[in-house]
Chains A and B, each alone.
Chain A
Amino acid sequence: MARSSLSVVFSGRGGAGAMSAGELLLRAAADLGYYGLMSRLFGAQVRGGEAAALVQISTEPVTCQPDRFDLFVALDWEKVDQFASEIPLDENTVIIADPQSGPTPQSIARSKAKTIPFSMSNADATPLERALQSKYTNVFAAGAVAALTGLPADALQSALSAVLGGKSATVTRANADTLAAGIAAADTLDLDLRLAPPHTAPRWLLTGNQAIAIGALRGGVRFVGCYPITPATDLVEWLSPELQNLGGRLVLAEDELASINMVLGASYGGAPAMTVTSGPGLSLMVESIGLGIAAEIPAVIVNVMRGGPSTGIPSKTEQSDINIAIYGGHGDAPRLVLAPTSVRDCMFTGEWAVYLAESLQTPVIVLSDQTLGQAFTVIDPKPDRPTPLARRTTVPDGPFKRYAIASDPVTPMPRPGTPRGQWVGEGLTHNEIGIPVGGAAAHVAQLDKRARKFAQFDPGPLWGDVWGEGETVILTFGSGIGPAQEAARRVAAAGQPVRIVSLRVLSPLPVAALAHALEGARRIVVMEQNHSAQLYHHLLAHKAIPPSAESFARPGPLPFRPAEIVAHLG
């Protein structure tokens, strides 16, 4: 019987092309109308380290890592031990490996998966052709697997050209021949991987990082200042040329202190601006985020979380920057912290973050993570978009007071160049005009002014989502939502309905909306990926959950998988 989904690992030493193999399979499937998701596992070594592409293809949307993989394709066995523990296999997993690569290593064989020997080079090729093609084992293997799932050869060839991009004619030719050979060799494998027909519709294939970038561009961001840091770098690498195409600019700053200040400067100049970083970079930005809050300057700060503290586990996921995002900084520095609820939502939340920063004149932090950011995912592009909100820039009549205390805590901030609108953005405690003053009255008045912006902020239905029903609730955010939903589906199918409450606004906490969403709950489990239950304590501190709520917190780098959540629910 044809299956509705397939999970495949392509693994090999760095340079063996595991990622291209995965992308080839995913892209061809996506073009035919399948959903899918590919995560990438890298070791610490920059070149030549281990690499694995974890690919899922399905007739239904895929929003989390699978509990186990159906197929493990070893392009070689060289470095697989280093991440074997991150790839769940079992006795039903099939391993495909070239006998020339040697025996299956113990770290993999331990799973009791059976290995099918498969020669990953073209048997009919001349020695010269073979020498040329031996570099493309990855394409050969991907071709064979894809053919077994039923993907047609022409779709695979066009996906291959997309993956290869602008490679030379010789390389393209050799790859195409190898792919054809791989497809032909599929017959020699006694494996049924046939997929049920897909539900076709126009879709998008992109990463969460790219989706946030698109959201920011939609929101009007045309200036980005940044410093490279995994797993945020691919976002800005994609964005840089596209910003130029749009007449905007990305500046590679000397460090994150510069990035955030360049962004505040560009924003002061009138351009919606963004910086993109990960934990260590966010740590460096903290003082200047406080400056942005005090001086009331819009800015979007995207933090693609990774394992911390210090340099932590740079290439792998964790949700452990909740505290620094919400509370990081000296003084009373309230800020907006948003978290996309899925790869698809990265676009929406990215765009919304720009509107909120601009309209509330304050830094907005977007907390994504490596799981969302680097998941290459097929999505139904979201037709709904947040309502555009703009910065107030008109100079009011009469003497201009940039930081006026008025009924509306948001006061106009004219763009430089506007006659009569001159103001000095001020990080010191200031009076209504913006002159530094040391007195209690001004201090309280301006703290109140800024606090009122957040007190009055009403996200409406955008605070988060409630999914499913049931008296058992999993309260989570970000990359926890996908696996929680999948777990809930399974538990519900077994007769126990589970409600998923997911937060898009982490700060200020939408306490009233949460109370409503949690009505009737008998068991509340706060699920998050960090060691110290940061979200749980944040919710408790704001009395957003009852003291009886449970914490289900564990650190990265392993992503949450549905079976783990089902087991936790008991």
Chain B
Amino acid sequence: MSNAAIIDAASAEALDPADFHSGATPIWCPGCGDYGVLSALEHALAINGRPPHEVVLVSGIGCSSRLPAYTSCYGFHGVHGRALPFAAGVKLARPDLEVIAVGGDGDGYSIGGNHFIHACRRNLDMLYLVMDNRVYGMTKGQPSPTTEADWDSDIAPGGLGLRPFDPLALAIAGGANFVARGFSGRPQELKDLIVEGLRWPGFAFIDVLSPCMAFRSEEFGWKESVHPVARTIEDDRAAAHAAVLAEDGYSLGVLFKDHRPSLPARYVAQSSLSEIEQQFAVCR
């Protein structure tokens, strides 16, 4: 068998979630929701079927952004807020790879908020998984764009007094093809969502409710609040936007799916560089 054939045969073999585990010990606090996200992701990747070396996980900065090193995939742990453009660069240069961006709500919605809008609009075929704990965990408990207005903290005594924004509504308005909400306390359902997101063409965005044990232990009560989404809206972006704005923020599942085209994966070379250089020739 040729080398390529051996690799093909190997990747065709069933993958195990353990194949995606690096063995590095997470720095996460005991009980952090992100453990559940990591586990669901490893299971989903095994089902998805592409071997670890064909998957690239990109993150920014935050507790959640530590995730790539805990998998056995290729990865990149960049600066705060820039995971999405980095991931876009990987995908555009290498459309053959499975590209996944991960991070926190601060990373993705605050410092990286502009990139979030434009990643939805660009609609590249990749997955973006946000571990939304509605707090800045790594910097020890400041309110994020998804934190409730009255959540009391040192930096904002009595609460910020600002209405949290809805990242799912933003993603739908921005142009993402797949918009879903998961919960780290429901890893089986989360795994299924991730598999579906990975396989859905275009930009798949999953906001994962992932409680912060250290600064928002009340978030463990989310398991009482969550419920299945009433219905998945397909192709009707306006209806989906309205539905998302009307729901309570705890419905789990796919809220919206669309079939908007993305950028062309590649351009075919039409000319050689020496031909291009000829445009500058004078006095031939």
A interface with B by C-beta (< 8 Å): 27, 30-33, 200-206, 210, 214, 217-218, 223, 225, 242, 244-249, 251, 253-255, 257-259, 261-271, 273, 287-288, 290-291, 295, 378, 381, 416-428, 434-436
Residue among A33, A204, A269 making CB contact with B97, cutoff 8 Å: A269
Q: Which residue of A lies closest to B270 (CB)?
A: A245
Q: Which of A263, A265, A268, A378 has most chain B Cβ within 10 Å?
A: A265
A246 touches B269 (CB 8 A): yes
- 5 A-B contact pairs sorted by A residue (CB < 8 Å): A32-B283, A200-B283, A257-B85, A258-B82, A416-B74
Q: Any chain A CB within 8 A of the CB of B68?
A: yes
Q: Any chain A CB within 8 A of the CB of B248?
A: no
Residue among A242, A247, A268, A378 making CB contact with B86, cutoff 8 Å: A268
Residue among B54, B56, B89 making CB contact with A263, cutoff 8 Å: B89
Q: Spot the interface stretch: B215-223, B233-241, B271-279.
A: B271-279
B interface with A by C-beta (< 8 Å): 7, 24, 51-54, 56-58, 61, 66, 68-69, 72-79, 81-82, 84-94, 96-97, 114-115, 117-118, 266-273, 276-277, 280-284
What A residues does B90 contact at CB under 8 A? 265-266, 268-269, 416
State in angstroms the CA–CA spacing of A425 and B97 once bound together. 16
B89 touches A416 (CB 8 A): no
A422 touches B82 (CB 8 A): no
B88 touches A262 (CB 8 A): yes
Number of A-B contacts (CB under 8 A): 196
Residue among B7, B94, B268, B277 making CB contact with A247, cutoff 8 Å: B268
State in angstroms the CA–CA spacing of A267 and B61 once bound together. 20
State in angstroms the CA–CA spacing of A436 and B138 once bound together. 14
A416 touches B94 (CB 8 A): yes
A265 touches B276 (CB 8 A): no
Residue among B7, B73, B114, B118 making CB contact with A419, cutoff 8 Å: B7
A205 touches B266 (CB 8 A): no
A265 touches B85 (CB 8 A): yes
State in angstroms the CA–CA spacing of A214 and B278 once bound together. 11
The smallest C-beta distance from B97 to any residue of chain A, in angstroms, reads 6
B52 touches A425 (CB 8 A): no
A416 touches B282 (CB 8 A): no
A265 touches B93 (CB 8 A): yes
A249 touches B53 (CB 8 A): no
Contact A265/B89 with A416-B53, A419-B7, A419-B51 known, Cβ cut-off 8 Å: yes
The smallest C-beta distance from B65 to any residue of chain A, in angstroms, reads 10
The smallest C-beta distance from B207 to any residue of chain A, in angstroms, reads 21
State in angstroms the CA–CA spacing of A435 and B115 once bound together. 26
The smallest C-beta distance from A209 to any residue of chain B, in angstroms, reads 12
A271 touches B284 (CB 8 A): no
Q: Which residue of A lies closest to B52 (CB)?
A: A422
Residue among A201, A266, A417, A436 making CB contact with B89, cutoff 8 Å: A266
Q: Which residue of A lies closest to B97 (CB)?
A: A416
What B residues does A251 contact at CB under 8 A? 88-89, 92
State in angstroms the CA–CA spacing of A290 and B78 once bound together. 10
State in angstroms the CA–CA spacing of A509 and B166 once bound together. 51
The smallest C-beta distance from A225 to any residue of chain B, in angstroms, reads 6
Contact A422/B77 with A31-B283, A258-B118 known, Cβ cut-off 8 Å: no
Contact A262/B89 with A206-B280, A416-B53 known, Cβ cut-off 8 Å: yes
B281 touches A204 (CB 8 A): yes
Other 10 A-B pairs with CB < 8 A, given A202-B282, A416-B90: A206-B280, A214-B273, A246-B276, A247-B269, A251-B92, A253-B118, A254-B115, A261-B82, A265-B85, A426-B69
What B residues does A206 contact at CB under 8 A? 280
A267 touches B89 (CB 8 A): yes
Q: Which residue of B lies closest to A291 (CB)?
A: B79
What A residues does B86 contact at CB under 8 A? 261-262, 264-265, 268
Contact A27/B89 with A246-B276, A417-B97 known, Cβ cut-off 8 Å: no
What B residues does A425 contact at CB under 8 A? 75-78
B276 touches A242 (CB 8 A): yes
The smallest C-beta distance from B86 to any residue of chain A, in angstroms, reads 4
State in angstroms the CA–CA spacing of A217 and B85 once bound together. 23
Q: Which residue of A lies closest to B273 (CB)?
A: A217
The smallest C-beta distance from A64 to any residue of chain B, in angstroms, reads 20
A424 touches B68 (CB 8 A): yes
What B residues does A203 contact at CB under 8 A? 281-283
What B residues does A214 contact at CB under 8 A? 273, 277, 280
B53 touches A419 (CB 8 A): yes
Residue among B7, B114, B117, B283 making CB contact with A202, cutoff 8 Å: B283
Q: Which of A30, A218, A419 has most chain B Cβ within 10 Å?
A: A419
What A residues does B117 contact at CB under 8 A? 254
Q: Which residue of A lies closest to B3 (CB)?
A: A419
State in angstroms the CA–CA spacing of A203 and B280 once bound together. 8
B88 touches A265 (CB 8 A): yes
